Structure 1
């Protein structure tokens, strides 16, 4: 069985490339490393697309795996962003635009279709919320962030810029609703299945990506929007970005505490472990963007520390995934599609 959750490996690899390319501190060989990671992400994307076409299923009746249809559009756009930042010349612009357009259209379809399926499917229990609920509604925010990079490369970028702000609004409002539901579920029903705990890190995705998006949109607004609005976009990038980054760090501490507690009782490996990569990567790009914008030494150091955390997480998860592929364990079991079992209490 091959599901859309495999595209998370593309996202997690691609965000390492993007984070390395945009980090406010650059050292010799860093861009070359970012390029290698981008090429690796592109190769994984091709492989996963081929496998999906060959033996993939929709998992429309699986209330867990269907959420991960948010991963394919984000995978496309993550590779597209890396292509624009690291690829060669005019090809990079064209390829990035194609990947962005495909990812945006697919992401909008998923953002409507999956919640609709959840709302109309009988049998959904009120305590079934988990971090993956965010997956279908985050793609429009990725469209906003990656689309902002394309604004300077189109003849009249005003409409594209405004469209990206609208896409950001779709994802931001929907994410606020879902994050509230996840919080309520955790408080009223506790953690749930151990293998689903990594999905709590997905909450960082819309938070970090929104800060990154408003930073990039503010930068692209200069010379595109009239004076007052361009200046307002610059202000919004900081006045929105810093508070939301603060909440992202708060959630990271909460998710880390829950993850450590769960690991003491056993945290089985599954593809949900890729939740440790892309969401953290969005916080790296968010912190790096704010550091570049404000010149803050504290944010610069924090961006570097978070990048090291991201790189460590990617190394661990990629290694475990390769081992699972070689042993065949990831092919025999659909890791996320299991009946949640409570995590044993620890003392």
Structure 2
């Protein structure tokens, strides 16, 4: 997710050049490589050792990261459109096919994981973290990706169907995210700050706000292009062009509102980090990159839709900040991979503890 969003930001920088595009293609290739490697490893892991799958699903924290799979896949689909659409319609339709796969996985995680949390995990309020957003946000990401793919599709009917499905996904993801953010805000006010080990998770609410703000603007932009060529709004006697303009302006309005809400969360997160000061490095540090990255994409969309120099400069600053954070976290990750400290499977530890308890009870 972090590598993918860096490739997108570098490709779409306000002040860009050929060499920056080349760097974005390198990040794109790296993202595909990382995704392919970890997907293959995970597939082999759960195929050869199916008991680990059930242990992972039963784990209250590790299971939530299932949502990272469709979000990481979505960044590849986005760059296929941004960087490779000129290869021809076949590439666009390939990205469209991948998007439908991403939609199914995103919908499945957004519905199944919250139910599993409610039915099996049932965490106490003081142990609740913003990681609960991880299986839900993929629906918002898939909606935004749908807007990007629909904009490139040559067929109006295909673009229209993609647009409608994307609006549905956006509604599912944003509504559920709002529920979790309200719960998380309540947890912070009642039980103070999270433990230092998961303190970086305070940045996660920026993700659905930033991506949701970008997605609703992108969908409005596509609606302006697609809806006038359809039968939408005809039953109500409304001119499709005016209806499309309404959706476009609503998208910009919600984009501004959600950008502001994300700004508030960023301020909360920075103050919390400053208050905590020292906190250990772990894989949670990757939570710095994607939320801030999608907030930058929302800022970029506002710059283009409003023609505002303010948002143009903020887009550039946020993009460079995300790049620097990616470099920092990558170096620390490589360091811990070399030492072996990064390879920890919490679900296996829980499984071993349960097996030990069973053996003790038998004894």
TM-score, normalization by structure 2: 0.85
| Cα shift at 1:308 | 1.2
1:303 aligns with 315
Q: 1:79 maps to what in 2?
A: 76
CA-to-partner distance for each residue in 1:153-178, whole Å, 9 max, x for gaps?
A: 15212121111111100011111110
Which piece of structure 1 moves more, 151-160 or 267-276?
A: 151-160
The 2-side partners of 1:291 and 1:29 are apart by 23
Residues 154, 163 of structure 1: alpha-carbon distance in 2 compared, 3 angstrom cutoff = farther
Question: Aligned partners of 1:64, 1:144: CA distance in 2, in Å?
Answer: 25
Q: CA deviation at 1:241?
A: 0.9
Partner of 2:247: 233
Q: After superposition, where does 1:84-163 map in structure 2 within 5 Å?
A: 84-87=81-84, 89-90=87-88, 92-121=91-120, 124-152=123-151, 153-155=153-155, 156=157, 157-163=159-165
- Please tell me whether residue 49 in structure 1 is matched to residue 61 in structure 2: no
| Residue number in structure 1 paired with 2:3 | 13
CA contact (8 A) 1:196 1:272 kept: yes
C-alpha displacement at 1:222, in angstroms? 2.1
Gaps of at least 5 residues in structure 2 are 47-51, 228-239, 351-363
In terms of mean alpha carbon deviation, does 128-137 or 116-125 score higher?
116-125
Shift of 1:122: 5.6
2:216·2:255 contact (CA, 8 Å) conserved in 1?
A: yes
Please give the secondary structure, in 1, of the residue aligned with 2:225: coil
Residue 193 (1) aligns with residue 195 (2): yes
SS in structure 1 at match of 2:179: helix
Cα pair distance change 1:123/1:101, threshold 3 Å: closer
Please state if 1:223 is matched with 2:235: no
Where does structure 1 lack aligned partners over 5 or more consecutive residues?
Answer: 1-10, 339-347
How far apart are the structure 1 equivalents of 2:122 and 2:3?
36
CA distance in 1 between partners of 2:13 and 2:218 (Å): 14
**Across the two proteins, how many residue pairs are aligned to each other?**
325
Sort the Cα spacing of 1:114 and 1:123 in 2 relative to 1 into closer, same or farther, 3 A.
closer
CA shift, 1:325, in A, is 1.3
Counterpart residue number, 2:182: 180
Q: For the residues of structure 1 that align with 2:288 and 2:162, how far apart are their CA atoms?
A: 31
* CA drift at 1:227: 0.6
SS at match of 2:36: helix
Structure 1: 4+ residue segments shifted above 3 A? 332-335
Contact 2:220 2:251 in 1 (8 A): yes
Structure of larger gyration radius: 2
- Greater Cα offset, 124-133 or 54-63: 54-63
1:29 aligns with 2:19: yes
Q: CA offsets, 1:36-75, max 9 Å, x none?
A: 1111111100011011112254311111111111100111
Q: Distance in 1 between matches of 2:311 and 2:107?
A: 33
Matches within 5 A, 1:163-178: 163-178=165-180
- Shifted more, 93-102 versus 240-249: the winner is 93-102
Once residues 15 and 304 of structure 2 are traced to their aligned partners in structure 1, the CA distance between those partners, rounded to angstroms, is 9
Aligned counterparts of 1:123 and 1:291: Cα–Cα separation in 2: 42
Higher helix share: 2
- Give matches, 1:194-343, under 5 Å: 194-225=196-227, 226-262=240-276, 264=277, 266-332=278-344, 334=346
Contact 1:83 1:95 in 2 (8 A): no
The CA deviation at 1:87 is 2.4
Measure the CA separation in 2 of the matches of 1:293 and 1:99. 28
**Structure 1 19/92 Cα, relative in aligned 2: closer, same or farther at 3 Å?**
farther
